[in-house]
A and B are shown apart, each in its own frame.
Chain A
Amino acid sequence: GQSLEQPSEVTAVEGAIVQINCTYQTSGFYGLSWYQQHDGGAPTFLSYNGLDGLEETGRFSSFLSRSDSYGYLLLQELQMKDSASYFCAVYNFNKFYFGSGTKLNVKP
């Protein structure tokens, strides 16, 4: 089966840096994706790691280590609008599997 573990909730202050971790167990693996979802909204794609290492997209970066079955999403210069849930996901057996999500609370 597929299993993706994330912390349930993280709190940080505006302007800070926060890291959201994701550990996974999967019988096959193509890469790790990250999605952002605001309350009542739909998930939107943020980042993808097909290979080990760091991918940077503006204030957001994502990292993958296949040997550790581990990845993280790094958010820099936090803004209030970054308050949302963040999901990691893997693609396997022709389907996407999502983690349980991490709720990020950004405080002023």
Chain B
Amino acid sequence: EADIYQTPRYLVIGTGKKITLECSQTMGHDKMYWYQQDPGMELHLIHYSYGVNSTEKGDLSSESTVSRIRTEHFPLTLESARPSHTSQYLCASQRRGTNEKLFFGSGTQLSVL
């Protein structure tokens, strides 16, 4: 049922590099989210989108940016990665008119050296 995909699954990069984490869903969901999660910790909302050309910052301050040019695609970009960005990044989508369920991608585990 969960047709939401994230790439890459794992990424190790050096400080200062620009990276883009990809997220795509084939369910036609309008709302999409990015969460950041450290091991064993809670999920922190960093960005969300109501639909095409809509992007909002979440409750956790983040140096990343997002774009929503197509319904199915919601990439997250870090212009200059730092070791403090090391974390798991989870993308999720929500069916219109519902408020009970998020569909999550498999996540991207980012390590910045």
A residues in contact (CB < 8 Å) with B:
30-31, 33, 35, 39-45, 48, 50, 85, 87, 89, 91, 94-101, 103
Contacts and interface: CB of A to CB of B under 8 A. Distances in A.
Interface of B: 2, 31, 33, 35, 39-43, 45, 48, 50, 58-59, 90, 92, 94, 99-107, 109
A41 B106 contact: yes
9 contacts: A30-B100, A33-B101, A41-B106, A42-B105, A42-B106, A95-B59, A98-B35, A98-B43, A101-B42
A87 B43 contact: yes
Interface-central residue, A89, A94, A96, A99, by most chain B CB under 10 Å:
A96
B42 A91 contact: no
Contacts of B109: 40
